Amino acid sequence: GFMAVDAIARAHGFGPWRKKFQAELAEGHIGGERVILLKPQTYMNESGRAVAALMRFYKLEPADVIVVHDELDLAPGKLRVKQGGGNAGHRGLASIDGLIGKDYWRVRIGVGHPGRPSQVIRHVLEDFGPEDDGWLGPTVDAIAAAAPLLVQGEASRFMNQVSLALKPPRPKPPKPAKDTD
């Protein structure tokens, strides 16, 4: 999630990161809308504290919040966006749910499942490896490029644009030449 948020900040010329609300915060504009990016600096399972503090200060509603996070149940590089729903055991989301409710937007970025439950914690806490280079950079760049659609509430178009950026349509084969004989 932080990698995608950093890519959004770079792509859209956000101001410098500063410490506030037990988080790093950057402000800027995307598609003409004022946007505040937040990277909680609490333990992940206490992320809701930073989100709730920001919401109280700026008088935001849960529907104004978009949380970008990793998702074990999606293949690496796959993306889903939804509003509300469960947390599937994601402790950061559980913390946010407990403090602001469940009606915020979620951008779920697939990181794949390591295969065995005993490997999950290590899988989500370790840095990405060289085997992830092929999908990780292009995914966060595509998210950053499509961010204006997300800010405008166009979740389906956002997912479509990211998908097309990662897997552009195949060119159509040339039509056979007509015989002139």
DSSP 92-121: HHHHHHHHH-S-SEEEEEE----SSGGGHH
**pLDDT category, 114, cuts 50, 70, 90?**
low
Query: What is the structure's pLDDT at 169?
Result: 61
| pLDDT average, residue stretch 8-27 | 91
Query: What is the structure's pLDDT at 129?
Result: 61
Query: What is the structure's pLDDT at 126?
Result: 60
Query: What is the structure's pLDDT at 18?
Result: 92
Q: Tell me how far apart the 2 most distant CA atoms of the chain are, in Å.
A: 78
The sheet with strand 18-20 has its strands ordered as: 18-20, 23-30, 33-40
Average pLDDT, the chain: 81
Q: Is it the case that residue 58 has pLDDT exceeding 80?
A: yes
**pLDDT category, 68, cuts 50, 70, 90?**
confident
Q: Is it the case that residue 23 has pLDDT exceeding 80?
A: yes
Query: What is the structure's pLDDT at 164?
Result: 80
Query: What is the structure's pLDDT at 128?
Result: 62
Q: Which of 146, 160, 162 is nearest to 30 (CA)?
A: 146
Query: What is the structure's pLDDT at 159?
Result: 86
Percentage of the chain with pLDDT > 70? 77
SS3 148: helix
